[in-house]
Amino acid sequence: MGALNGKTALVTGGSRGIGRAIAQRFGRDGALVAVHYGSNEAAAKETVDSIERDGGRAFAFRAEFGQPGDAAALWEAFDQQVTAFGEPGVDIIVNSAGIAGAGLIHEVTEEAYDRVFAINVKAQLFVTQLGLERMRDGGRIVFMSSGVTKVAFPMMTAYAASKGAIEVLSLTLAQTLGSRGITVNTVSPGTIETDIHPWLADPELKKGAAAYSVFNRVGQPDDVAGVVAFLASDDSRWVTGQNIDASGGSGLSIL
């Protein structure tokens, strides 16, 4: 019996990278998985197909973040599809969708800042807010942060600030939602080998990235998905308001 049998899980940004690995893990664990995507329909279909090939259940739906009413549009699309499975409502929300935002402080434009915060913070706050109307008591909420909040990372000023905001939001919601038995936690990956990091194709750059981890390798999406799967399960029922480092020990040593 899967750890998530009978549960419905929403994974934003579930069509690629870490989000895809989380969606696939949830499918193997028995959940009905709602795979959200912003633009890449083909990638979302591939994710759903992979879950179904493994015997799971999933559906994909589109909602573009960073637009007015994006959170409401997401839940409207979710509601339309989930009813076909006869299981309205949601038990698990993983806020995995996000964008990077490179730039030192003097390079950050208002336009770039607004876009990073609209997608990485505002959309996630309101997706969660509206999701609470549908979430059953005892649910699970997981936010994705980043190792850039643990060390100075000036090349990603706006992005790092947005992830810091997510960590505080998660902590606040954990206090607010405890009375409903809902846990709220954050996972902070380090460098993970996905298509968002094309520079890892360079062997020398990849070797340098691997050196940050005590395991001397670059993290894989499944490394993070396993942590999220724990936080989504009943085994994590006594864990809330925590930020779990999933960086392979990056930053433990002074290089």
The single-letter code of the amino acid at 167 is: E
The single-letter code of the amino acid at 55 is: G
Listed residue (17, 222, 62, 242) closest to 142, CA to CA: 242
The dihedrals phi and psi of 244, each to the nearest 5 degrees, come to -90, 120
Which positions are annotated as active-site residues?
Answer: 159
- Which helix (H) or strand (E) is 183 found in, with range? strand 183-189
Q: Which residues contact 203 (CB under 8 A, 6 or more apart)?
A: none
Q: Which residues contact 6 (CB under 8 A, 6 or more apart)?
A: 30
CB atoms inside a 10 Å sphere around CB 204 = 7
Judged by DSSP in three states, 93 sits in strand
Q: Would you say 122 and 75 are in contact if contact means Cβ atoms under 8 Å apart?
A: no
The single-letter code of the amino acid at 39 is: S
CB atoms inside a 10 Å sphere around CB 42 = 9
Q: Would you say 12 and 94 are in contact if contact means Cβ atoms under 8 Å apart?
A: yes
Listed residue (65, 61, 51, 63) closest to 23, CA to CA: 51
